[in-house]
Amino acid sequence: MSAYPEAPAGWVRVSHRSAGPFTTHVTFRGADGLETEWSSRVHRKHASRISRSAPGDEDVWWAPHRASWWIGLLFAIGATCFTVGPLPGFVELVGSAVDAAVFFAGSIFFTTAAGLQCLETFSADREAGGSGPHRFRVLAFEPRRIDWWSSVVQFVGTLFFNVTTFRAMSTALESPSYDRLVWAPDAVGSMCFLVSGYLAYVEVCGGYACLRRRGLEWWIAAVNFVGCIAFGISAVAAYVVPSTGSALDLAAANAFTALGGLCFLVGAVLLLPEAAAERAASSRWGVGSVTSSEERAARPDGS
């Protein structure tokens, strides 16, 4: 398989940033002398057949014709379920059965959104300029892409949460098999979220860590990663000790689940203005910002 991203005809790679085997940012120089800064995240969000916008399409809050809009909406609904579900007042109001159903519904919304994100990733143009064939693929195997790993691992994690929340509806906490049937998928799902969230963060940074706080995409990746950490802590705190039949710290499990859900909610809502912000800042569709060689040389950091 050829390198990702592929350079359009007449474009030359000037520099690139990578994390391990994954290329996250590339600077191309076109025949016109302009240098185009390509990034994996921007390309995935704007050079995918199912998320591509037409010229003049700048509506932030209502864009049901784009998969990216549905991804943000579905993640937001699922995150709301995981934010509200652990609250003591909520379970007292609706009862444990309804509360468990809310968690299960939230996991279904997560899985649907993660599945759409996989389709968005699979369907991204391989060519950096977005002028290649606009493909739609249901399945793809591209292990050289960091966004492929992040999307697929996250989707797998949501499937484990489906199992967790379904078991929670049908298995009593007193059951001796609770630790085996419920906690194990919860722990694996949380681990998948941690891996996926960190890969998404690395994709934005172009390295293993960064503090690019001015960029909206950095805030999205960072707040989602914090949510993944919170879910991981929740999974540990919710472990049921077989000898006692009680969780290690149920209050902490509920608190960190709610915190994780809130972080995911913020990240999901920010996905909507991210699309408009990136389109406004880009001169070439789905690629990134474009500057001349002279403009780049005049910058203090040379970037």
Burial of 97 (0-12, 13-18, 19+ CB in 10 A): exposed
pTM of this structure: 0.86
Packing angle of the helix pair 146-170, 184-205 (nearest 10 deg) = 160
C-alpha dist (Å) from residue 284 to 30, 136, 174, 192, 288: 11, 21, 59, 34, 7
Share of the chain above pLDDT 90, in %: 50
C-alpha dist (Å) from residue 234 to 50, 82, 227: 34, 12, 10
pLDDT tens figures, 99-140: 889 999 999 999 999 999 999 999 998 888 765 556 789 999
pLDDT tens figures, 21-49: 999 999 999 988 899 899 999 888 888 88
| pLDDT for residue 300 is more than 50 | no
Between 282 and 185, the higher pLDDT residue = 185
Between 175 and 257, the higher pLDDT residue = 257
pLDDT tens figures, 135-163: 789 999 999 999 999 999 999 999 999 99
| pLDDT for residue 298 is more than 50 | no
